[in-house]
């Protein structure tokens, strides 16, 4: 499977402008890309302005469906969804064959995200082209219990708007999630300064189960990166060095 990450400089609260940026960047996708990963809140930037929410069957889903068909790939990222009188920072994965959704579990209280959005209460694992995939959104990365792999998934995807001031944590935690869960990890981030004055320097990356970075985006630059991942190499590594077999048992209790 070929993974591609688009690292854009997003326009602040400009959905159609960002659609245009992402369409242009998708024209540079590598041939045969199976999964194309966009950042967190890729239509608006990381805003708490609920005026930019939409129903799940809206413009953004149409944009993703069109891109999925055009590139014969799964397109994923998060955006703001209004549903049942509540608002969610919702990850969507859209392919020509299916759709999957996950609501961000850990809301960034220091940015008051928890005052506007409702947290998700369940993880998602789905299968796409032989890979079991588990998606997460930005701040979820800091909570290893939530993403703990008990041989449930092969690829973890983290879509993010991770600020440059904490980029060292981003680099360390992505590698840690790959190593401890014996899985591939893909982390997408954006670049540029948002409407709140928060600077993002990117550093999107793809990491193998040994914790080795196989593709790294250039800092502060719009770009597309990609890497091939192998389900057979992953199975061989897990068979030879089966850390997951010795993992602790636990239960997550939703509050």
- Find the CATH number of the domain harbouring 170: 3.60.110.10
Domain holding 125, by residue range, is 2-246
In a domain, 254, yes or no: no
Q: How confident is the model at residue 109 (pLDDT cuts 50, 70, 90)?
A: very high
Q: How confident is the model at residue 255 (pLDDT cuts 50, 70, 90)?
A: low
- Average pLDDT for residues 80-89, to the nearest whole number? 98
What is the Cα–Cα distance from 211 to 198, expressed in whole angstroms?
A: 28
Strand partners, 130: none
What is the Cα–Cα distance from 236 to 239, expressed in whole angstroms?
A: 5
Residue 250 pLDDT > 90, yes or no? Answer: no
Strand partners, 86: 83
Q: Between 15-26 and 59-71, two packed helices, what is the crossing angle to 10 degrees? A: 10
pLDDT in tens, 177-200: 999 999 999 999 999 999 999 999
**pLDDT value, residue 159:** 98
| Catalytic site positions | 40, 104, 138
Q: How many domains are contained in the chain? A: 1
Residue 156 pLDDT > 80, yes or no? Answer: yes
CA 144 to each of CA 128, 149, 237: distance values in angstroms, whole numbers, following the listed order: 23, 9, 21
In a domain, 69, yes or no: yes
Strand partners, 223: 7
């Amino acid at each position: 499977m070929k993974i591609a990450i688009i690292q854009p400089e997003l326009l602040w609260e400009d959905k159609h402008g960002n659609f245009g940026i992402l369409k242009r960047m998708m024209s540079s996708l590598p041939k045969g890309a199976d999964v194309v990963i966009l950042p967190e809140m890729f239509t608006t930037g990381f805003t708490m302005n609920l005026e930019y929410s939409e129903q799940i069957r809206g413009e953004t889903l149409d944009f993703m469906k069109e891109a999925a068909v055009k590139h014969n790939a799964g397109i994923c990222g998060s955006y703001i969804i209004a549903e049942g009188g509540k608002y969610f920072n919702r990850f969507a994965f859209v392919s020509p064959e299916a759709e999957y959704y996950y609501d961000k579990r850990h809301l960034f209280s220091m940015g008051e995200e928890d005052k506007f959005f409702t947290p998700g209460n369940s993880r998602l694992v789905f299968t796409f082209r032989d890979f079991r995939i588990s998606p997460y959104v930005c701040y979820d990365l800091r909570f290893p219990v939530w993403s703990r792999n008990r041989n449930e998934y092969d690829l973890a995807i983290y879509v993010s708007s991770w600020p440059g001031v904490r980029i060292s944590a981003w680099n360390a935690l992505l590698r840690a999630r790959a190593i401890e869960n014996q899985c591939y990890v893909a982390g997408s981030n954006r670049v540029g300064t948002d409407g709140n004055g928060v600077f993002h320097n990117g550093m999107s990356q793809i990491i193998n189960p040994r914790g080795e970075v196989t593709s790294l985006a250039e800092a502060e630059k719009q770009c597309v990166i990609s890497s091939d991942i192998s389900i057979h190499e992953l199975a061989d590594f897990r068979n030879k060095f089966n850390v997951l077999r010795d993992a602790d048992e636990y239960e997550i209790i939703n509050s």
